[in-house]
Structure 1
Amino acid sequence: MVTTGQPSPATRTGLSAPHLGPGAIVTGALDDLAPAPGWPRPAMLDRDLLILVTHGHGSAELDFRALPCRPGTLVRARPGQVLRCLGSQLDATVVGWGPDALRGLDVDPDALPAHRQLAGEDADAVINEVSQLAVDADRHARLPAAEALLRHQLAVLLLRLALLPHPGGTPTPRAETETFRRLCREVERGYRHTRRVEDYAAELGCSVRTLTRACLAVTGRSAKQVIDERVALQACRLLAATDESIARIGRALGFPEPTNFGRFFTREVGVSPGTFRADRERPLPVRLVRPRPPADSPAPAGQA
């Protein structure tokens, strides 16, 4: 059976420990991720996660997008995203891993959608694999020899999920998806320094038109919108999950003048940075930052 409720002390320590190595694979419970009891505000994640809901009904707000949750719901979250879970007695098994856990294995965890509801034989297979991984991670937590076992169990789980029917229907053509992913990887490296599409096109050796065509195919939005929304999303994450000053957040995102940051944020999000932060203790602010890419599209590798 899937582990629910409170995990063992060893498992709880694993998920919450700040000293985990880059190849670590750990499991635990949903409450281990909360910044405080009751999820008073979102938590910024520091590792890759798979969250399998095992009990209760509610929602997971992943980067300010509400995802309905019930038994069999699977949520895929990435480092740097912000998460908040709401719901009466909402329990889940959480699998977390570091950046080197899958090194050398032919598996792409970024091919998975952020949210899907499992059912039937697919649900049974995934639940069994998550259950076994959780048992082995707890039982063999301190045995170096178990590292290979856990790595391959995680790879099999992710491969099985990748083989499930695409939840959004027909996927975007591969060439445009790959161009979009390349842009997203470059944006991750450069969004704090430039928001010009021309700069990213030059780095990738393609035209602005090619980038815009790929972004429109995958997200329905232009390359400039994708870049600006990535900056706005990071601002929302920092405003909601940290206590950094608004001026400092703006400077970190390439806005030396607070007024320029305020105008940019208000244009993208619909409210001022101060209003957004004041609302962070309430679920789902007035207007959501649109996620990139949509839940039914592949996510860029290395997205923070």
Structure 2
Amino acid sequence: MQIGPMGTDRTWHAEAPLHRIHRIDFHVVMLFSDGPVRHMIDFAEYEATAGDVLWSRPGQVHRFWRTNEYRGTVLTMQPGFLPCATVEATGPYRYDLPPLLHPDDAWRDALKAALAQLQREYEDTTTLPLSLHTSVLRHSLTAFLLRLAHLAASSAGAAGQQAGTTFTLFRDAVEKGFAINHSVSAYADALGSSRRTLVRAVRAATGETPKGFIDKRVVLEAKRLLAHTDLPTGRVGAAVGFPDAANFSKFFQLHTGQAPAAFRAELR
């Protein structure tokens, strides 16, 4: 993990300027002290101002804007740095949760205090032995992330907080299997649920059908690959479960209104 002030001309590494589209395998949490700032996450544009928090999760694509000056504190961390229980509680792959959070005064003060404490522990490399220093960092990070995860779930509204077990299991199964399994019946069978029960659970939690939920996840992954890689569109299609390139192009155009190549060209 790393934590420190945001500033201009920062890069992930020498050959990756921030204005490019990035897909990274770690969390990025930005607490802004100024604004407004525009930032793209998973092809949606967000505008953050002072006191807002922007949370980009592992696997998402995002892009910094050239014309904005980012001010505040940025925290980055690998999911593997955290205990398993914390990872499960904070939902590192909950793409359904909003990345932009607008905490009220009490929440903002609590998050700023927790983040400031974490930064003090991070910068103090001499008081404790390395093993204890690392443990303290993990505990401080856990406290901050649990607060942040609760705020994100609250911001998602009642439906996001009260999603039933059937939908939760379905959502997790889709996240693991969308690249090879697009069948609603197959997911229902794997979960030991009837198709009708699954339809009710998904509709209650999201307002969508199970098929719509699956297709939305497939489209998102295809967009990420088109934006962040130079894979031919046929290989992008194969990566999300379409061995036939023509079928993938039809599917993508149906759901986005653009051919895969046109979507890629527009972004770049």
Q: 2:115 aligns with which of 130, 133, 137?
A: 130
Structure 1, unmatched stretches of 5+, are 1-24, 282-304
Q: Answer yes or no: is the 8 Å Cα contact 2:98–2:156 preserved in 1.
A: no
* Residue 152 (structure 1) shift: 0.9
Listed as ranges, the matches of 1:112-127 within 5 Å are 113-127=98-112
Higher relative contact order (CA 8 A, sep 6+): 1
Q: Answer yes or no: is the 8 Å Cα contact 1:172–1:217 preserved in 2.
A: no
Q: Answer yes or no: is the 8 Å Cα contact 2:11–2:18 preserved in 1.
A: no
User: SS of 1:51's equivalent?
Assistant: strand
Deviations 1:45-91 (A, max 9, x none): 21123222233312221111122211111122221111113252123
Where is the helix percentage greater, Structure 1 or Structure 2?
2
Amino acid at match of 1:60: H
Q: Which residue of 1 aligns with 2:167?
A: 180
Q: Which residue of 2 aligns with 1:197?
A: 184
Equivalent residue pairs, number: 255
**Deviation larger for 192-201 or 249-258:** 249-258
Q: Which residue of 1 aligns with 2:77?
A: 97
Deviations 1:93-124 (A, max 9, x none): 22222233332546711276422112312212
Separation of aligned partners in 2, 1:178 and 1:65 = 28
Q: Which residue of 2 aligns with 1:240?
A: 227
Is residue 2:36 matched to residue 1:57?
A: yes
Amino acid at match of 2:71: D
Separation of aligned partners in 2, 1:38 and 1:96 = 15
Q: 1:137 to 1:119 in 2, by over 3 A?
A: same
- Percent sequence identity is 33
Q: 1:255 to 1:172 in 2, by over 3 A?
A: closer
* Residue 269 (structure 1) shift: 1.3
Q: 1:172 to 1:188 in 2, by over 3 A?
A: closer
Separation of aligned partners in 1, 2:119 and 2:238 = 42
Q: Which residue of 2 aligns with 1:75?
A: 54
**Deviation larger for 139-148 or 247-256:** 139-148
Q: 1:210 to 1:173 in 2, by over 3 A?
A: farther
Q: Report the TM-score when normalising by structure 2.
A: 0.84
Q: Report the TM-score when normalising by structure 1.
A: 0.75
Q: Provide the alpha-carbon RMSD of the alignment.
A: 2.6
Separation of aligned partners in 2, 1:171 and 1:258 = 37
Q: 1:154 aligns with which of 137, 141, 146?
A: 141
Q: Which residue of 2 aligns with 1:145?
A: 132
Structure 2, unmatched stretches of 5+, are none
**Deviation larger for 105-114 or 214-223:** 105-114
Q: Answer yes or no: is the 8 Å Cα contact 2:166–2:201 preserved in 1.
A: yes
* Residue 272 (structure 1) shift: 0.6
Separation of aligned partners in 2, 1:162 and 1:190 = 24
Separation of aligned partners in 2, 1:173 and 1:207 = 24
Is residue 2:196 matched to residue 1:209?
A: yes
Amino acid at match of 2:90: P
Separation of aligned partners in 2, 1:121 and 1:81 = 29
